């Protein structure tokens, strides 16, 4: 029932295109689901993709266009004339059309808009382009179904049939008053089972209607839809007039992007990059963290140089430098990871910081005792009792410190409105390196009685 | 329009409960959205929560119950009698009921099932409990709307009205043949605009119907729904008989959990833990990585001890150990992060490994030249030209090596069916430490002509 793209199929498709074999393509490609067609277009050249694309009807074209991956779509659109782009946009949902225009130059946007035949569609798109990126306004679409509160069901059905032509997926009908203010919602199910003369006012649901304002940020939109379990949410302007709706697919996209961003930030990558980004962009995204890491390394060097005298007497002290720094880093990252996740989920974990730190301390003591016992055993075999004690004691101390810092640093960043995911990156590791080394050599100095 | 929970409101609620003030609660709490009511129940004691809970009608109870956070719900259910649990389950969607039973002991499950009045509901739940965790069967619900292909619209409307009572959100009507085999889908919109005598066979959509089998794993279900942009997907058994549907809310939950898991694994935490997990569970989840890190540190110590002679001659060589290991780790994590993400998205990035490694090499050379120039400058100020050359040259070499390993290790793990997110944890960092130190001291030996 589901299509699986094979290399053979792509080859067959390419051969059919080369032979101008529209019949084969209609039979084998155009009958597929639009998501599958998009997958087939990905490995084709622009010219080949264009050939297949213009065999499809308008509805199919717009669905397939939105299924293409962003870079493939950009490449493909760049190969179309302004006139062709304009006619493609007319068949898209307004939010998708605005997204596509957002990727073009200002000059090209003007040209495309002026070439659009459908004034209403063009107006909707222009309107959406006004909203700031990352707000509900920029995410919403103008296609939704609304009914006036004083209509009867039969009148509503007539009007809705007209509206429904433009709306691909109908989840909910929004009920508005004469000035377009959102009053409530009505499900298709309710309409289906009401008598023709029933007034909407008598059957609509006015309780606990959840909506967002146009200037709400995407994160709030996502959290609201998640909390209230909605597949679409109405968007109202500052006067509570209904201006659009946001559907769950856009929000799922956002959730995934956020997770990606956190993951990259925790890995020390400061800009959103993809595998396909340019070498220059990838380098630039990584550089800030590497420079911080390098300055941290220089400071570590400075700390160690303060103990030059001792190292020259007991060279073996240098052997365990990487163990101490690595363990400080690992422990710090582990304990900050959970704090960062709780913060991302919106938990109010400031409420009892002391309890959290206390718990981390218990975990740290448990793991610290175990690990420092093991390293003591290894140390004795390797380098004798004295160094074993130094390494084991410092490892324990470093684990305790790193755990506590791991909790406090993301909380501190959050307090200062900095993304706490930063904490997991080189930031925590670098800081723990420096503190860990200081602890290690100080304990060394003390025990060796230098 | 949206409710914001304040501490005052909770205090007022507690006071009202203490005073048995059902009227206040009905007016101020029970009229809220069920997601908000759940939020109010969280900080209450079990006894208080029970008081509010049993003021609600059945529908409200089931909605609120499913909105509670898992640990609060478990605690709350534990305070109910088996009889009370049984009657709660009858109002839940079958998948939710099965989830709740999944958390009880086998003995209690038997008791609860035997106490349920509604045999059909009990049968549905027992059926769902048979499916293995993590498959489509365990995720689906038995509540969906189906119509026989040979019905006329008016007959269908009648039957559907009966079915629709049990189904909370109707997205799609599934069309089946006489043996319940899935033939296609029908939208409510289409039904709304068809004449009463129209046959379903004439208006239903039979093209490109996407379904999943009961034994499909959750990841495939999520990817399929995502690819085809579905808010619900029908589930069929091995004979293609329609047995359930999965709705998008369950899948969004899964996507978020996967992102969390990857994030934790990359942070060196091997089991799924929450901020609220026990000290013992948190310790255990972290220990495997810490032990690997410690063994790695011991191996680093071994590498360095091989150069004991040289360090005792030029103690300053020890100063830059942390810089070399930290930079190897940072670069390795950065370059593996993007590979891990591409793999998680299902990209086929094995297709041109050489191109990917080539790109990483370019990025590494770009950043490497810049960073080793800077460290050369710093090194000269600190420790003189010779050590500056050693540090600068090794930093460059380490950056190159770590970048290439960062790409190859996750790809290698994936080849051997191990989760590539492992690569980002202590694994890559530890390996890079050892290789980096070896490079550093080898270059040192060569340049100092020991």
Average pLDDT over residues A411-416: 85
Exposure string for B300-336, b = 16+ CB within 10 A, e = fewer: bbebbbebeebbbebbbbbbbbbbbbbbbbbbbbbbb
Residues B146 and B30: their CA atoms lie apart, in Å, by: 34
Best of B156, B185, B326 to disrupt the A interface (most A CBs within 10 Å) is B326
Q: Are B423 and B378 in contact (CB under 8 A)?
A: no
What are the residues facing A205 on neighbouring strands?
A: A185
pLDDT higher than 90, residue A373: yes
Q: Do B263 and A157 touch (CB under 8 A)?
A: no
pLDDT higher than 60, residue A242: yes
Shortest CA distance from A365: residue in chain B: B283
| Residue A311: CB atoms within 10 Å | 23
Shortest CA distance from A225: residue in chain B: B249
pLDDT higher than 90, residue B160: no
How far B310 CA lies from chain A's nearest CA (Å)?
10
Residues B415 and B340: their CA atoms lie apart, in Å, by: 13
A141 in reach of chain B (CB within 8 A):
no
Exposure string for A338-357, b = 16+ CB within 10 A, e = fewer: bbbbbbbeeeebeeeeeebb
Question: Chain B residues with CB inside 8 Å of A367's CB?
Answer: 283, 286-287, 290
Write down the pLDDT at residue B228: 87
Best of A194, A263, A293, A353 to disrupt the B interface (most B CBs within 10 Å) is A263
Q: Do B266 and A269 touch (CB under 8 A)?
A: no
Residues B11 and A248: their CA atoms lie apart, in Å, by: 35
DSSP H/E element including B236: strand B232-236
Place of tokens 């080793």: B372
Question: Chain A residues with CB inside 8 Å of B252's CB?
Answer: 226, 248, 252, 255
Question: Chain A residues with CB inside 8 Å of B172's CB?
Answer: none
Q: What is the pLDDT of residues A154-180, one digit of tens each?
A: 888 888 777 776 776 777 889 999 999
Q: What is the pLDDT of residues A36-49, one digit of tens each?
A: 999 999 889 989 99
Average pLDDT over residues B206-214: 90
pLDDT higher than 60, residue B349: no
Two structure tokens written together for B432: 């890079």
- Topology of domain A145-247, CATH: CBS-domain (3.10.580)
DSSP H/E element including B36: helix B34-41
Q: What is the CATH number of domain A7-139?
A: 1.25.60.10
Residues A362 and A365: their CA atoms lie apart, in Å, by: 5
Question: Chain A residues with CB inside 8 Å of B334's CB?
Answer: 267-269, 286, 289-290
Q: What is the pLDDT of residues B274-284, one digit of tens each?
A: 767 788 888 88
Tell me the residues of chain B between 36 and 55 that have a Cβ less than 8 Å away from chain A: 36
B99 in reach of chain A (CB within 8 A):
no
**Which three-class secondary structure state does DSSP give residue B93?**
coil
Question: Chain B residues with CB inside 8 Å of A341's CB?
Answer: 260, 263-264, 275
User: Domain spanning B145-246: which CATH class is it, in words?
Assistant: alpha beta
Q: Do B339 and A370 touch (CB under 8 A)?
A: no
| Residue B167: CB atoms within 10 Å | 17
How far B140 CA lies from chain A's nearest CA (Å)?
17
Confidence tier at A347 by pLDDT (50, 70, 90): low
Shortest CA distance from B159: residue in chain A: A193
Write down the pLDDT at residue B4: 81
Task: Tell me whether residue A238 is exposed, middle or buried, using C-beta atoms within 10 angstroms of its C-beta: 0 to 12, 13 to 18, 19 or more.
Answer: exposed
Place of tokens 């590498």: B303
Write down the pLDDT at residue B347: 63
Q: Do A256 and B260 touch (CB under 8 A)?
A: no
In chain B, domain spans: 7-136, 145-246, 279-448
How far A243 CA lies from chain B's nearest CA (Å)?
16
Contacts of B28 (CB under 8 A, 6+ apart): B12, B13, B16
Which of A338, A301, A335, A340 lies closest to A433 in space, CA to CA? A301
Residues B403 and B368: their CA atoms lie apart, in Å, by: 10
Mean pLDDT of chain B: 86
Q: What is the pLDDT of residues B91-127, one digit of tens each?
A: 888 888 998 888 888 888 888 999 988 888 888 888 8
pLDDT higher than 80, residue B263: no
B323 in reach of chain A (CB within 8 A):
yes
Q: Among residues of chain B, what percentage have pLDDT more than 90?
A: 31
Of the two residues A415 and B1, the one the predictor is more confident about is: A415
Task: Tell me whether residue B346 is exposed, middle or buried, using C-beta atoms within 10 angstroms of its C-beta: 0 to 12, 13 to 18, 19 or more.
Answer: exposed
How many contacts, defined by CB atoms under 8 Å, are there between A and B? 329
| Residue B286: CB atoms within 10 Å | 28
Confidence tier at B376 by pLDDT (50, 70, 90): very high
**Which three-class secondary structure state does DSSP give residue B293?**
helix
Write down the pLDDT at residue B155: 86
Shortest CA distance from A359: residue in chain B: B279
Strand arrangement of the beta sheet that strand A242-247 belongs to:
A212-213, A232-236, A242-247
Average pLDDT over residues A425-439: 85
Shortest CA distance from B356: residue in chain A: A275
Question: Chain A residues with CB inside 8 Å of B301's CB?
Answer: 319-320, 322-323, 382
Average pLDDT over residues A240-247: 93
Mean pLDDT of chain A: 86
Average pLDDT over residues B251-278: 77
A158 in reach of chain B (CB within 8 A):
no
Q: Which of A121-135, A284-298, B153-167 has the lowest mean pLDDT?
A: B153-167
Two structure tokens written together for A36: 């599958």
Q: Do A319 and B301 touch (CB under 8 A)?
A: yes
pLDDT higher than 90, residue A51: yes
Q: What is the DSSP letter of B211?
A: -
Best of A323, A370, A373, A426 to disrupt the B interface (most B CBs within 10 Å) is A323
Q: What is the DSSP letter of A69?
A: -
Q: Do B279 and A342 touch (CB under 8 A)?
A: no
Q: Among residues of chain A, what percentage have pLDDT more than 90?
A: 31
Write down the pLDDT at residue A171: 74
Q: Which of A161, A193, A293 sits opposite B161 (nearest CB)?
A: A193
Question: Chain B residues with CB inside 8 Å of A293's CB?
Answer: 326-327, 330
Query: ∠ at Cα A92 (A90, A97), nearest 5°?
Result: 90
Question: Chain B residues with CB inside 8 Å of A255's CB?
Answer: 252, 255-256, 259
How far A110 CA lies from chain B's nearest CA (Å)?
31
Confidence tier at B268 by pLDDT (50, 70, 90): confident
Average pLDDT over residues A235-263: 86
Q: What is the DSSP letter of B117?
A: S
What are the residues facing A185 on neighbouring strands?
A: A174, A205
Homologous superfamily of B7-136: MgtE N-terminal domain-like (1.25.60.10)
How far A338 CA lies from chain B's nearest CA (Å)?
6
- Topology of domain B279-448, CATH: Tetracycline Repressor; domain 2 (1.10.357)
Q: Do A330 and B290 touch (CB under 8 A)?
A: yes
Place of tokens 């084998």: A28
Q: Which of A279, A342, A433 sits opposite B326 (nearest CB)?
A: A433
Q: What is the pLDDT of residues B211-229, one digit of tens each?
A: 999 999 998 999 899 888 8
Q: What is the pLDDT of residues B287-328, one digit of tens each?
A: 888 888 888 889 999 999 999 988 988 889 999 999 999 899
How far B327 CA lies from chain A's nearest CA (Å)?
7
Q: Do A367 and B286 touch (CB under 8 A)?
A: yes
Strand-strand pairing, B182-186 and A242-247: unpaired
pLDDT higher than 80, residue B80: yes
Q: Is the pTM of this model over 0.80?
A: no
Strand-strand pairing, B182-186 and B173-176: antiparallel
What are the residues facing A245 on neighbouring strands?
A: A141, A234
Write the Ramachandran bin of A40: left for phi over 0, alpha for psi from -120 to 50, otherwise beta.
alpha
């Amino acid at each position: 029932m589901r299509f699986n793209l094979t290399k053979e199929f792509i080859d067959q498709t390419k051969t059919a295109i080369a032979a101008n074999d529209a019949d084969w393509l209609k039979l084998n490609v155009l009958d597929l689901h639009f998501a599958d067609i998009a997958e087939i277009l990905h490995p084709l050249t622009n010219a080949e993709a264009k050939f297949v694309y213009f065999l499809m009807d308008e509805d199919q074209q717009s669905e397939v266009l939105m299924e293409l991956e962003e870079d493939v779509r950009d490449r493909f659109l760049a190969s179309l004339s302004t006139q062709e782009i304009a006619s493609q946009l007319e068949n898209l949902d307004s939010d998708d059309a605005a997204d596509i225009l957002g990727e073009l130059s200002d000059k090209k946007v003007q040209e495309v808009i002026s070439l659009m035949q459908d004034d209403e569609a063009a107006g909707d798109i222009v309107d959406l382009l006004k909203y700031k990126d990352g707000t509900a306004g920029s995410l919403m679409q103008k296609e939704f179904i609304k009914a006036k509160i004083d209509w009867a069901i039969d009148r509503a059905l007539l009007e809705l049939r007209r509206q429904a032509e433009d709306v691909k997926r109908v989840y909910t009908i929004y009920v508005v008053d004469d000035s377009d203010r959102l009053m409530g919602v009505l499900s298709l199910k309710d309409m289906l089972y009401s008598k023709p003369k029933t007034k909407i006012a008598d059957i609509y649901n006015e309780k606990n209607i959840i909506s967002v304002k146009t200037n709400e940020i995407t994160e709030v939109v996502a959290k609201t839809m998640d909390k209230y379990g909605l597949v679409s949410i109405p968007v109202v302007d500052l006067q509570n007039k209904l201006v659009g709706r946001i559907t769950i697919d856009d929000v799922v996209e956002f959730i995934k992007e956020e997770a990606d961003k956190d993951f990259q930030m925790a890995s020390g990558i400061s800009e959103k990059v993809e595998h396909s980004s340019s070498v220059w962009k990838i380098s630039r995204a990584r550089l800030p963290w590497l420079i911080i890491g390098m300055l941290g390394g220089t400071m570590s060097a400075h700390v160690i140089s303060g103990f030059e005298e001792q190292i020259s007497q007991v060279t073996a002290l240098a052997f365990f430098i990487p163990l101490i720094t690595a363990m400080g880093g690992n422990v710090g990252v582990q304990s900050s990871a959970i704090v960062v996740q709780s913060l991302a989920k919106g938990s109010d974990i400031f409420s009892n910081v002391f309890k959290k730190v206390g718990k981390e301390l218990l975990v740290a003591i448990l793991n610290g005792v175990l690990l420092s016992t093991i390293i003591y055993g290894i140390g004795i075999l390797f380098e004798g009792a004295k160094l074993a004690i130094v390494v084991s004691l410092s490892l324990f101390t470093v684990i305790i410190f790193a755990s506590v810092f791991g909790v406090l640093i993301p909380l501190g960043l959050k307090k200062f409105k900095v993304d706490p995911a930063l904490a997991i990156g080189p930031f925590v590791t670098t800081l723990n390196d420096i503190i860990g080394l200081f602890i290690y050599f100080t304990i060394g100095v003390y025990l060796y009685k230098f």
